[in-house]
């Protein structure tokens, strides 16, 4: 406790960001520190799991110390340790998990393991302090594309998910085809602003009527074929036009499925999360969808959409208050069902 406030230390290490945050009363971010490995993995064109684990190990202690310093608190003020338990890269998660267990044991404080996607969902509660379930959540990250009916923090239903590539994965793979840097999402986002979204038509895969599932692997092949055909025909390839057209196709599908999910569930609030939710075109489109549907939209700022530990501290506090606690035998998992 610090000044009568409940203090959670959150730790996140499921992919290529080593992160620690201090969140008070589950809502107020006192610090949110992220050490990104993007530059290290860029030369490989993607995250190398073994290298990610090693860097988490070298960074994690200093990231936690900085989080405490910036929040102006000491270990003795921490009431709860929250940590990502999966899904993600197991070797990477284990670094955060082992550190969290060591701290919880030494400080004699409770420990809560958090589903990474649950963190992304509840990042919206850090953005809007009045937000409470029920709401519909669209999570679009490097590994997930999920539409979730959030009834309470402990009662959530997955309404739709990707059957192949996640939205972020499609951005990253298409960026590679276009010769752009890793991670491709922010690069395509930037270039799309300079291109014509109607220049090339890529198929919008909607699957069966009424389905809330997604499929993005076809569009990646569509971009690859278009790019190769144009080059073989000796025509100039306009990368910003392809980026804008690809992004528009992905956004069309995400927007339409979200609209169907809002109608199906009757929710009056939509939240978003995950790295792709930082995309400018997607954010603008969702503002429009929510205006049309008369739904309140909570968009976490881009830094709360991509991986961070404040969202983990927020979700851990919600679970702890609902009586959920983990033990030192908690395991890391590459795949865990949500809910």
Min. distance of Cβ 309 from Zn ion in angstroms? 11
Tokens of 190: 């930037």
Tokens of 226: 């278009």
What Rg value do the Cα atoms of the chain yield, rounded?
A: 20
Nearest Cα to Cα of residue 172 among 257, 92, 91, 250: 250
With CB under 5 to 8 Å by kind, the binding choice for 306 among ligand KG4, Zn ion, none is ligand KG4
Min. distance of Cβ 200 from ligand KG4 in angstroms? 18
Window contacting ligand KG4 (CB under 6 A); options: 52-60, 122-130, 152-160, 182-190: 182-190
- By CB under 6 A, is residue 214 in contact with ligand KG4? no
Q: How many residues bind Zn ion (CB under 5 A)?
A: 2
- By CB under 6 A, is residue 185 in contact with ligand KG4? yes
Contacts of 38 (CB under 8 A, 6+ apart): 16, 182, 183
Min. distance of Cβ 307 from ligand KG4 in angstroms? 4
Min. distance of Cβ 14 from ligand KG4 in angstroms? 7
- By CB under 6 A, is residue 279 in contact with ligand KG4? yes
Window contacting Zn ion (CB under 5 A); options: 28-36, 106-114, 124-132, 303-311: 303-311
Report how far apart, in Å, the C-alpha atoms of 273 and of each of 1, 71, 102, 231, 260 are: 29, 24, 30, 36, 18
Which of residues 165 and 307 has its CB atom nearest to Zn ion in the complex?
A: 307
Binding mask 52-71 for ligand KG4 (x = CB under 6 A): --------------------
Among 141, 271, 308, 317, the residue binding Zn ion under the rule CB under 5 A is 141
Among 12, 165, 307, 319, the residue binding Zn ion under the rule CB under 5 A is 307
Nearest Cα to Cα of residue 30 among 86, 88, 70: 70
Binding mask 130-169 for ligand KG4 (x = CB under 6 A): -----------xxx------------------------x-
Binding site for ligand KG4 (CB under 6 A): 15, 141-143, 168, 171-172, 183-186, 189, 274-276, 278-279, 306-307
- The binding site for Zn ion (CB under 5 A) comprises 141, 307
């Amino acid at each position: 406790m610090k000044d009568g406030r409940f203090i959670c230390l959150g730790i996140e290490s499921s992919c290529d960001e080593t992160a620690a945050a201090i969140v008070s009363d589950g809502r107020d971010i006192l610090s949110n520190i992220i050490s990104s490995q993007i530059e290290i993995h860029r030369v490989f064109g993607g995250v190398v799991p073994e290298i990610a684990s090693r860097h988490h190990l070298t960074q994690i202690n200093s990231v936690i110390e900085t989080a405490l310093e910036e929040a102006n608190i000491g270990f003795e003020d921490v009431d709860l340790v929250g940590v990502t338990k999966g899904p993600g890269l197991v070797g990477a998660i284990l670094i955060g998990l082992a550190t969290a267990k060591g701290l919880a044991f030494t400080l004699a404080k409770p420990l809560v393991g958090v589903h990474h996607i649950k963190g992304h969902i509840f990042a919206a509660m850090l953005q809007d302090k009045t937000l409470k379930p029920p709401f519909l959540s669209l999570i679009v990250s490097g590994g997930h594309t999920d539409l979730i009916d959030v009834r309470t923090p402990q009662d959530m239903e997955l309404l739709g998910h990707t059957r192949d590539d996640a939205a972020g994965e499609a951005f990253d793979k298409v960026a590679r085809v276009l010769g752009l840097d890793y991670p491709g999402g922010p690069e395509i986002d930037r270039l799309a602003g300079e291109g014509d979204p109607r220049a090339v038509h890529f198929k919008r895969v909607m699957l069966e009527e009424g389905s809330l599932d997604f499929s993005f692997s076809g569009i990646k092949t569509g971009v690859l074929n278009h790019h190769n055909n144009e080059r073989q025909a000796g025509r100039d390839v306009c990368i910003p036009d392809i980026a804008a057209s690809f992004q528009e196709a992905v956004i069309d599908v995400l927007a339409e499925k979200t609209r169907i999910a809002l109608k199906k569930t009757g929710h009056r609030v939509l939240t978003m999360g995950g790295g792709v939710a930082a995309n400018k075109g997607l954010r603008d489109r969702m503002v429009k969808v929510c205006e049309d549907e008369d739904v309140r939209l909570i968009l976490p700022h881009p830094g709360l959409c991509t991986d961070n530990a404040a969202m983990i501290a927020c979700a851990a506090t919600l679970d702890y208050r609902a009586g959920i606690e983990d033990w030192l035998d908690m395991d890391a998992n590459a795949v865990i069902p949500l809910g």
